[in-house]
């Protein structure tokens, strides 16, 4: 689905375990790396909520470059520093104008927001 473009930053998540920080790992994958930000034609972001982490990606493609294809991976905490993928969704958003591209449901794909992370 997202076969072009690149996030401009790659972030890792860390949780506090006593007196030290531990890198978050995804079951079956390893160290969790999150693509964040991007360009006009590609975005990456994530949302942390209590007990849940959503990883977001979006990219447009020819012929019109007005249709952006998005994906959302849902991850759940299975331990203090471990997550597991629990769901995946995909879809598209048509954004022809600057006003379209500044709507909150579109802009979220270029943001990192955490209200809380691990349980």
50-105 pLDDT per residue, tens: 888 999 998 887 787 888 899 999 999 998 899 999 999 999 988 888 888 788 88
32-58 pLDDT per residue, tens: 988 887 776 788 889 888 888 999 998
Asked whether residue 57 is assigned to any structural domain, the reply reads: yes
Asked whether residue 45 is assigned to any structural domain, the reply reads: yes
Residue 3: predicted pLDDT: 45
Asked whether residue 3 is assigned to any structural domain, the reply reads: no
Please give the residue range of the domain that contains residue 20. Answer: 9-114
Asked whether residue 16 is assigned to any structural domain, the reply reads: yes
Instruction: Give pTM, 2 decimals.
Output: 0.79
Number of domains the chain contains: 1
Q: How confident is the model at residue 16 (pLDDT cuts 50, 70, 90)?
A: confident
Asked whether residue 2 is assigned to any structural domain, the reply reads: no
- Give the length of the chain: 119
Asked whether residue 1 is assigned to any structural domain, the reply reads: no
Could you say which DSSP state residue 55 is in? E
Residues in contact with 50: Cβ distance below 8 Å, sequence separation at least 6, in sequence order: 115, 116, 119
Q: Within 10 Å of residue 7's Cβ, how many Cβ atoms?
A: 20
Asked whether residue 74 is assigned to any structural domain, the reply reads: yes
Asked whether residue 119 is assigned to any structural domain, the reply reads: no
Helices then strands, each counted (H, E), the chain: 2, 11
């Amino acid at each position: 689905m997202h076969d072009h473009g690149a996030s401009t930053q790659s972030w890792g998540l860390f949780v506090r375990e006593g007196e030290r920080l531990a890198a978050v790992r995804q079951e079956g994958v390893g160290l969790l790396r999150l693509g964040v930000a991007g360009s006009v034609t590609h975005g990456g972001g994530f949302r942390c909520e209590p007990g849940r982490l959503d990883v977001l990606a979006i990219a447009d493609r020819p012929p019109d470059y007005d249709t952006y294809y998005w994906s959302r991976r849902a991850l759940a905490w299975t331990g203090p520093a471990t997550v597991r993928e629990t769901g995946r969704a995909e879809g598209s958003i048509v954004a022809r104008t600057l006003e379209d591209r500044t709507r909150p449901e579109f802009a979220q794909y270029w943001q990192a927001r955490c209200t809380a992370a691990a349980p």
